[in-house]
Copies of this chain bind each other. A is one copy, B any other.
Amino acid sequence: MSTASFLIALIAIFIAAKVFGEIAERLGQPAVLGELIGGVAIGVSGLRLVDPHDVTIHLLSELGVILLLFVIGLETDLKKLMQVGGSATAVAVIGVALPLAGGFAFGELLGMSRMVSLFLGASLTATSVGITARVLSDLGHLKDDASQIILGAAVVDDIIGLVLLTIVGTLAEGGALTVLGIGRIVLIAFGFVLLAIVIGSQLAPMLIRAIDRIKVARGLLFASIVFALALAYVAQRVGSAIIIGSFAAGLVLARTHRGKDICREVHDVSQFFVPIFFVAVGAAIDFRTINWMGFALAAIGIVGKVLAGFVVWRKGMNRLVVGAGMIPRGEVGLIFAQIGLSTRLLSAELYSAVTVMIMITTFVAPPLLRRLLAQETPGELESGSADIVMDAPADDAGS
């Protein structure tokens, strides 16, 4: 990629993100929906100004989702997340089991091989925590009880999704799986998060104390970002996901005495990268791949997650919001689709179907959530504290 085409891509991304984001907000929709549609407009189905498979754009969008989850982690109260841990885990487990079973049954019904059916089911499992968190944040509901459950469940089902990916991947490549092998995969996936939080909670205060003594400009910002990138790297290395790593980094740093400063400074930088992620997700969507199976898979995926929301047993909780929040599939689903294609488990037709399913679930959730949340007052737990993951629209209005 030359400097000129890089500049064109960045210009297109920012204009698309902000113009379509503005239109979305004027229509009362979350800005992130506009960014996704903006991505479609300039991506492979539109003007083709941005190639989402270009390595630099891909890496910048990865950085965007890492920083997004880092800020969301910084915004999240670990204690509150633990309080809803039971509900979140239940939602996650049911929210994985139902789409997995549904996708598997769909494949069996159409007479596909058992492996293909399993793969289809697995590709339906993981919620895109990035998209959901952005929507909740755009709408000012990130601190709600229901949002905490969604966030917790999305993290847990990402981890389950990664476990499934490892298992299905091993099977797809003709490897044998033992109970011991599966146990090891599960242990690594969940163990990483626990260890990251436990060890990170010890390390973070030392890091912050060291930073307080140095003089160089923006030491706190860079130390925090390095911490997040390092955890993202370790997460990927041990077989978890980069976004789990940076989310854990955010959770840990939020509990230090500089947590609020870190959140503000990282937030300023993340603003630049986060739209690149959402536009790139939109840009990758190829409308030529649309077929009926995609709609069927989307229906299975939506029904499965919405039903999962109803396992929440707290009274006064809008359980439909929880289910709706779990609908969007994103990164992990796309990873499944790509692995399926490269291992020839998925035909071009089935690959398209999975992509279409991701596309539909991604576009359905934002307006649905907005509709459901419009009836509620924001911030049930901490109505005084404004979400700052994305600024309020009026941010730039004063001079």
A residues with CB within 8 A of B = 1, 3-4, 6-8, 10-11, 14-15, 17-18, 21-22, 25-26, 31, 34, 55-56, 59, 62-63, 211-212, 214-223, 225-226, 229-230, 232-233, 236-237, 242, 257-258, 261, 268-269, 271-272, 275, 390-397, 399
Copies of this protein, total: 2
Contacting pair A229 B22 (CB below 8 A): no
Which residue of chain B is the closest to A62 with respect to CB atoms?
A: B3
Q: How far is the CA of A63 from the CA of B14 in the complex (A)?
A: 14
The 4 closest A-B pairs by CB, nearest first: A217-B391, A22-B216, A215-B393, A7-B233
10 examples of A-B residue contacts, CB within 8 angstroms: A4-B236, A10-B63, A17-B222, A18-B218, A18-B222, A56-B56, A218-B395, A219-B396, A225-B272, A272-B272
- Nearest-neighbour CB distance to chain B for A241, whole angstroms, equals 10
Q: How far is the CA of A214 from the CA of B56 in the complex (A)?
A: 30
| Apart from the given pairs A3-B242, A217-B396, 14 other A-B contacts in the complex at a CB distance below 8 Å | A4-B233, A7-B233, A14-B222, A14-B225, A14-B226, A15-B226, A18-B223, A22-B215, A26-B215, A55-B56, A56-B56, A212-B396, A219-B396, A269-B271
- Nearest-neighbour CB distance to chain B for A76, whole angstroms, equals 20
Contacting pair B397 A212 (CB below 8 A): yes
Contacting pair A211 B396 (CB below 8 A): yes
B residues less than 8 Å from A220 (CB atoms): 396
- Nearest-neighbour CB distance to chain B for A140, whole angstroms, equals 12
Given contacts A4-B233, A222-B14, A261-B399, contact A215 B25 (CB under 8 A): yes
B residues less than 8 Å from A237 (CB atoms): 4
- Nearest-neighbour CB distance to chain B for A16, whole angstroms, equals 11
Q: How far is the CA of A360 from the CA of B59 in the complex (A)?
A: 34
Q: How far is the CA of A21 from the CA of B219 in the complex (A)?
A: 10
Q: How far is the CA of A21 from the CA of B221 in the complex (A)?
A: 14
- Which of A10, A56, A217, A257 neighbours the largest number of chain B CB atoms within 10 Å of its CB? A217
- Nearest-neighbour CB distance to chain B for A230, whole angstroms, equals 6
From B1, B217, B232, A390 is in contact (CB under 8 Å) with B217
B residues less than 8 Å from A222 (CB atoms): 14, 17-18, 275
Q: How far is the CA of A17 from the CA of B56 in the complex (A)?
A: 22
Contacting pair B25 A216 (CB below 8 A): yes
Contacting pair A8 B233 (CB below 8 A): yes
From B8, B14, B216, A31 is in contact (CB under 8 Å) with B216
Contacting pair B393 A217 (CB below 8 A): yes
Which residue of chain B is the closest to A3 with respect to CB atoms?
A: B62
Q: How far is the CA of A264 from the CA of B227 in the complex (A)?
A: 26
Contacting pair B391 A271 (CB below 8 A): no
B residues less than 8 Å from A268 (CB atoms): 268-269
- Nearest-neighbour CB distance to chain B for A273, whole angstroms, equals 9
B residues less than 8 Å from A394 (CB atoms): 215
Q: How far is the CA of A107 from the CA of B103 in the complex (A)?
A: 74
Contacting pair B18 A392 (CB below 8 A): no
From B4, B34, B62, B229, A11 is in contact (CB under 8 Å) with B229
From B18, B217, B236, B395, A395 is in contact (CB under 8 Å) with B217
